[in-house]
Amino acid sequence: MIKKTLSLLAIACGLVAGTHGAHAAEDGQQLYGANCGLCHQAGATGVPGQFPPLKGRLDVIAGSPEGKTYLSHLVLNGMTGSIQAGGATYMGYMPSFRAMTDEQLAAILTYVSHLGGNASAPSFTADEIHAARDATMPPTAVLQERNALNDKKKLP
């Protein structure tokens, strides 16, 4: 009885901590809904003036190696400051999701990248996220990385 109770407690703690196992990590839509949807909304449509839309934009950003690296840095380190996205200005803060696994972050980015209906939308791998994990950056440095991409016309 004690063993069964401890097993159930361990499972419950894992669910609360967000460690749902490899099967859940493959479900980018579910992970997006649980971690990103509150701000960026269902379907990644955003909230005008508050949270930028991701749908139809992430696939374009991820279309270049430096864009994929930026997106990996963004989810791992967060970002703060004013940005231009889809012709609108947003001032805010995105938290770091560094506590999530490489597989979970890759699944979320892949899910959102494919929302735009682009058949050739890039996918993300856990190895790409893992490689970006070594670059611990303050949120303001991620904003600088974004601005550099924007200056090169790499961001929609």
Contact partners, residue 25, CB within 8 Å, separation at least 6: 31, 101, 103, 104, 107
Residue pointed to by tokens 């996220």: 129
Q: Which CATH superfamily is domain 28-152 in?
A: Cytochrome c-like domain (1.10.760.10)
Domain boundaries, the chain: 28-152
pLDDT digits (tens, 9 = 90+) for 78-127: 999 999 998 899 998 999 999 999 999 999 999 999 998 888 999 999 99
**Whole-prediction pTM value?**
0.82
CB 84 within 8 A of CB 130: no
